[in-house]
Structures are given as structure tokens and as C-alpha cells.
Amino acid sequence: MAETTLTHIGRTEPRPAGWQGIAADWSSDQRAFKNVSWGKAMMWIFLLSDTFIFGCFLLSYMTARISTRVPWPNPSEVFALRIGGSDIPLILIAIMTFVLISSSGTMAMAVNFGYRRDRRKTAVLMLLTAALGATFVGMQAFEWTKLITEGVRPWGNPWGAAQFGASFFMITGFHGTHVTIGVIFLIIVARKVWRGDYDVGRPGFFTSRRGRYENVEIMGLYWHFVDLVWVFIFAFFYLW
């Protein structure tokens, strides 16, 4: 397993400048990205691929929304909650967004405490992140239920273009699946941290690889990505 820190690469020759220098660094010996472990590189590349998936989903949704000949339901009204006698637009979505962004904060703190080898705080913060993520999914379930009872279906809704419900369930469902998978893995990694697996280098159950505290950070990369995607969904689906 690759070590994260690069101590000394032992190169003394003059290094080329400018574009040639960039190309030479990239194509240099053994590793294109110095200081990047295998696991982290793999997560970054996976996230790049996943970006294309969400990008295609959002572009398809935008195509449908631009080209529809019937009115698109107004998100401010559809996603309003009646609280205290008045309709507050997007209130639930606002809370959901707040919860998910906060979970990114707790995740970042968990990474920090992980590198300080503070097992207890790391595990607690990861579990807190997982709890916030689960809250998000729970509120999403509430939102789905509300829309379904109001008559929104993948094939139609009372207010306009049928693609509204189709895109909504597909995109938020796909994102919610990502959050759910994230929550499951957060709990798994938190358990490993709590048990001290990364201190004693205990081999993984399936992979028989020894984990390191860097796994917390790799988990964090995924989690921040899922948050970032939500920001785009929020902007393009709810605010548009």
C-alpha cells in the first residue's frame, strides 16, 4: 500500500521550466501525482466519472425542461410547506441543504481528528456526519411522500409537464442513493476507527488490506462530493 508522504525523490538534475516542466513532472518516475496514495487517486478518478453521470442526468433534465411545450410546475409552490397558516417556499429544501452542508463540516473535522489519531472524536464526528446524512435522507423521504400524496407520479402530475415528476424522482433518488451508500460506509469506517483498526493495521475483512487513517479522508472526499452535487441539484432543480 502506498505511503502518503513523499520523503525524498533524490533528484538533483536541473528541472525544465514552463510547459515542459509541467509535462516532465507529470510523466516523471513511478507516480504522476506525488504525495497522492493509490486509494485517494482512485477516489478522485471515480468522482470524476460520477460527475459525468450527474452531469448527464442534469443536462437531460434541463433539455426536457427547456423543450417542453406545457408549463413546468413552479418549484417555489410545489416545494412549499404550510407552516403557521402561511406557505413558506422551499423551506424543507432549505433545511435539508443546511443539514447536508453541516454534515460536510463535521466530516472535515473528523478527517482532522483522524490525522491526529484521536480515535474517539473521529468516530463520534463520523457518526454525527452519518446521522446528519440519515436525517437528510429521512427528510427526502418525507418530501417524496408529500409529493406522492399530492398526486405527483413519474408519469404525470396535476400541474404541468410530466417530466417534472420523472426528473425529480430520478435525480433526487439517484442522489439519495449516493447519500445512503455514504451513510453506510461512514458507519463502517467509524466502527473501524473506534475499534482501532487503523492503529494496529488490522487487515480488512474482504480485501485483507491494512487500512490507514487516510481512509477517513477518502471517505470524506466522497461525502463532500455528494454535498457538492446536491448544491447543483438545488440550484438547477429547485431555484430555477
Partner 1 sequence: MVDITPADAVPPAEVAEMELYHPHSWWTKYVFSQDAKVIAIQYSATATAIGMVALVLSWLMRLQLGFPGTFDFITPEAYYQFITMHGMIMVIYLLTALFLGGFGNYLIPLMVGARDMVFPYVNMLSYWIYLLAVLVLVSSFFAPGGPTGAGWTLYPPQAIMTGTPGGQDWGIILMLVSLILFIVGFTMGGLNYVVTVLQGRTRGMTLMRLPLTVWGIFTATVMALLAFPALFVACVMMLLDRALGTSFFMPAIVEMGEQLQHGGGSPILFQHLFWFFGHPEVYIVALPAFGIVSDLISTHARKNIFGYRMMVWAIVGIGALSFVVWAHHMYVSGMHPYFGFFFATTTLIIAVPTAIKVYNWVLTLWRGDIHLTIPMLFALAFIVTFVNGGLTGLFLGNVVVDVPLSDTMFVVAHFHMVMGVAPIIVIFGAIYHWYPKVTGRMLNETLGRFHFWVTFLGAYLIFFPMHYLGLMGVPRRYNELTDMTVMTESAHHLNSFISIMAFIVGFAQIVFLFNLIWSIRHGREAGGNPWRATTLEWQTPETPPAHGNFGKDLPIVYRWAYDYSVPGAKEDFIPQNIPGSFAPSREPA
Q: Is 203 helix (H, G, I), strand (E, B) or coil?
A: strand
By the rule CB under 8 A, 229 interacts with partner 1:
no
Instruction: Name 232's Cβ contacts closer than 8 Å, sequence gap at least 6.
Output: 54, 58
Which one of 140, 157, 163, 215 is in contact with partner 1 (CB under 8 A)?
Answer: 163
- For partner 1, the closer CB: 174 or 185: 174
Contact 186, 127 (CB under 8 A): yes
Stretch that binds partner 1, among 28-36, 93-101, 108-116, 221-229 (CB under 8 A): 28-36
By the rule CB under 8 A, 82 interacts with partner 1:
no
Of the candidates 58, 103, 92, which has an alpha carbon nearest to the alpha carbon of residue 222? 103
DSSP summary character for residue 207 = T
By the rule CB under 8 A, 149 interacts with partner 1:
no
Burial 39-49 (b: 16+ CB within 10 A, else e): bbeebeeebee
- How big is the site for partner 1, counted in residues (CB under 8 A)? 60
By the rule CB under 8 A, 118 interacts with partner 1:
no
CB of 97 to partner 1, least distance (A): 24
β-sheet bridge partners, residue 8: none
- For partner 1, the closer CB: 75 or 160: 160
By the rule CB under 8 A, 131 interacts with partner 1:
no
Which one of 132, 166, 179, 189 is in contact with partner 1 (CB under 8 A)?
Answer: 166
